[in-house]
Amino acid sequence: MKKYSMSATALLLLSQAAFASEFGPLNVVITASRTAEKADDTLAAMTVITRDDIERLQAKSIRDVLQGTAGINITNNGGEGKSTSIFLRGTESDHVLVLIDGIKVGSATLGTTAFQHIPIEQVERIEVVRGPMSSLYGSEAIGGVIQIFTRKGGGELKPFFSIGGGSYNTYNASLGVSGGGEQGWFNLSASGINTNGFNACNGKPSPGGAGCFTVEPDDDGYKNLSGSLRAGYKFDGGVEVDIHALQSRGNTEFDGSYVNESESVQSVFGGSARFSPLDIWQMSLSAGQSIDKSDNFKDDSFKSRFESKRDTVSFLNDISITKNNLLTVGVDYQNDRVDGTTAYAVTSRDNKGLFAQYKGSLAAQDIQLSMRRDDNEQFGGYNTGSAAWG
The letter for the amino acid at 310 is R
Residue 3, pLDDT score: 33
Closest CA relative to residue 137, chosen from 181, 179, 106, 182:
106
Q: Which residues of 199-280 form beta strands (DSSP E)?
A: 220-234, 240-253, 261-278
Q: Residue 153: left (phi > 0), alpha (psi -120 to 50), or beta?
A: left
In whole angstroms, give the CA distance from residue 129 to residue 71.
Answer: 10
CA atoms in the 13 A half-sphere facing the CB of 42: 26
What is the DSSP track for 173-208? Answer: EEEEEEEE-SSEEEEEEEEEEEEEEE--------TT
- DSSP secondary structure code for residue 79 in this structure: S
What residue spans of the chain are helical by DSSP H?
2-22, 51-57, 62-66, 134-137
Rounded distance between C-alpha atoms, residue 222 and residue 231, angstroms: 30
Question: Tens of pLDDT along 244-254?
Answer: 999 999 999 88
What pTM, to 2 d.p., does this model score? 0.88
Q: CA triplet 268, 31, 108: central angle to 5 degrees? A: 40
Q: Mean pLDDT, the chain, as a whole number? A: 88
| Cβ neighbour number for residue 88 with a 10 Å cutoff | 27
Of 291, 289, 244, give the one whose Cα is nearest residue 266.
291
Number of domains in the chain: 1
User: CA separation (Å) from 293 to 13, 152, 263, 296, 335?
Assistant: 35, 26, 8, 10, 16
CATH at 32: 2.40.170
Is the Cβ–Cβ distance between 61 and 80 less than 8 Å? yes
To which H or E segment does residue 305 belong?
strand 301-322
Contact 143/373 with Cβ under 8 angstroms?
A: no
Is the distance from CB of 365 to CB of 41 less than 8 angstroms?
no
Cβ–Cβ < 8 Å for 42, 32: yes
**How many whole angstroms separate alpha carbon 261 and alpha carbon 256?**
9
Chain segment 342-387, per-residue pLDDT in tens:
998 899 999 999 999 999 988 889 999 999 999 999 999 999 999 9
- Please compute the mean of the pLDDT values over residues 216-221 and round it to a whole number: 81
The amino acid occupying position 165 is G
The whole-number average pLDDT for the span 18-37 is 68
pLDDT 10s digits, 275-326: 999 999 999 999 999 999 999 999 889 999 999 999 999 999 999 999 889 9
Q: DSSP 3-state helix, strand, coil percentages of the chain (rounded to 5)? A: 15, 55, 30
Strand-pair partners of 242: 232, 272
What proportion of the chain, given as a percentage, has pLDDT over 70? 90
Does residue 17 register a pLDDT over 50? no
- Smallest CA-to-CA distance from 315 within 352, 269, 359 is with 352
Q: Give the alpha-carbon dihedral of 136, 141, 143, 144, to 10 degrees.
A: -60
Q: Residue 35 CA to chain centroid, in angstroms? A: 18
Question: In this structure, are residues 188 and 180 in contact, taking their beta carbons and an 8 Å threshold?
Answer: no
Kindly list the distances between the CA atom of residue 198 and the CA atoms of 96, 301, 314, 318, in Å, as whole numbers in the listed order: 30, 22, 43, 51
Identify the domain containing residue 166 by its residue range.
2-389
pLDDT of 222 reads 94
pLDDT for residue 77: 83
